[in-house]
Amino acid sequence: MTSLPENTGKKLGLVIDLDICVGCHACATSCKEWNTGGYSAPLSDHDPYGADPSGAWLNRIHSYEVGEGPGSKTVHFPRSCLHCEEPECVTVCPTGASYKRAEDGIVLVNPDTCIGCKLCSWACPYGAREYDFDDGVMKKCTLCVDRIYNETIPEEDRVPACVRACPTGARAFGDLGDPSSAVSQSVAARGGFNLLEEFGYKPVNKYLPPRTGASDRDPAIVTQPERMPKPDGSAVERLFAWADQALSR
């Protein structure tokens, strides 16, 4: 059913800390590795070792330069499905394959009923859905629905693969509908924000902004421009000029 649930019991999602992310792409590769064998299997690639590689990935890591001059920053920016509260990728679906789960708010595609019309990808302002040309269906982040409730894997692994893989702890998983959860508290403490808030899909995933502070000030050590001695036409200088020319021949 592509009509949206009135409200979801939980609002499971990710919090991504743009201050910590180092842009290593470990979350993207880990996501690909898990999901090409899990719920979304296969995540097909085309020409993976050739000149024009492409393929379905559920997580993409951009790097942006933000601001200009000495205060500018490099911000690494992971981008995946935000599991919006009011996503039109779900309502435009003609078959009901694209749906939002009432129990935890996860937005999923049923790979058995998707007809591959791609309209949901047109409705997503975040570019989060990627079509699988081999499988003929749309693929998207499942929030690792096949890990987080999976009792056959160790408890510490019951988080999305991207969260498990992140070496810097820039990604956290939890219930953003519960104000007392760790993720909600970090959002409150750090001023977590929505991507393209003005668009109105009400994303569940939140981003924590890069910290501004010490690193933004002018560097403490001011380097002096190096002084180049002016040529004085001495015999030694002419000797070196002659040697330089002779050796350059």
Partner 1 sequence: MHPAYSVILFTTASGAGYGLMFWLSVAYALGLTPNSPFVLFVAMALALLLITIGLISSTLHLGRPERAMGAFSQWRSSWLSREGVAAVATYMPSGLLALLWLIGVESSLTIPLAILSAVGAVITVYCTGMIYASLRTIRQWHLGLVPANYLALAAATGALLLGFLLAVFGYAPAWTATVSLLGLAVAAALKVHYWQTIDADPGQYTAEMATGLGHLGRVKPLDPPHTRPNFVMREMGYEVARKHAEKLRRLVVAFLFAAPGLSMLLLLTVGGWGATLFFLLAIVCASVGILTERWLFFAEARHVSMLFYGSARA
Site residues, partner 1 (CB under 8 A): 1-3, 18, 23, 28, 52-57, 60-68, 71-75, 77, 79, 88, 90-97, 113-119, 121-127, 129-133, 135-137, 193-199, 207, 209-210, 212
Please state, in angstroms and as integers, the Cα–Cα distance from residue 92 to each residue in 96, 123, 220, following that order: 9, 7, 55
Which lies closer to partner 1 via its Cβ, residue 34 or residue 126? Answer: 126
Task: Provide the minimum distance between the beta carbon of 131 and partner 1 in the complex, in angstroms, as a whole number.
Answer: 5
- 3-state secondary structure string across 106-153: CEEECCCCCCCCCHHHHHCCCCCCEEECCCCEEECCCCCHHHHCCCCC
Query: How far apart, in whole angstroms, are the C-alpha atoms of residue 122 and residue 139?
Result: 13
Which lies closer to partner 1 via its Cβ, residue 58 or residue 163? Answer: 58
Task: Provide the minimum distance between the beta carbon of 225 and partner 1 in the complex, in angstroms, as a whole number.
Answer: 27
Tokens standing for 192? 């977590």
Angle ∠(112,118,124) on CA atoms, nearest 5 = 110
Contact 83, 203 (CB under 8 A): yes
Query: How far apart, in whole angstroms, are the C-alpha atoms of residue 207 and residue 172?
Result: 10
Which lies closer to partner 1 via its Cβ, residue 64 or residue 242? Answer: 64
Task: Provide the minimum distance between the beta carbon of 167 and partner 1 in the complex, in angstroms, as a whole number.
Answer: 18
Strand ranges (DSSP E) for the chain? 12-17, 45-46, 54-55, 59-66, 73-80, 98-100, 107-109, 130-132, 137-139, 171-175, 206-208
Alpha-carbon torsion 77, 81, 84, 86, what sign? positive
Task: Provide the minimum distance between the beta carbon of 127 and partner 1 in the complex, in angstroms, as a whole number.
Answer: 3
Which lies closer to partner 1 via its Cβ, residue 118 or residue 202? Answer: 118
Which lies closer to partner 1 via its Cβ, residue 37 or residue 67? Answer: 67
Which lies closer to partner 1 via its Cβ, residue 148 or residue 187? Answer: 187
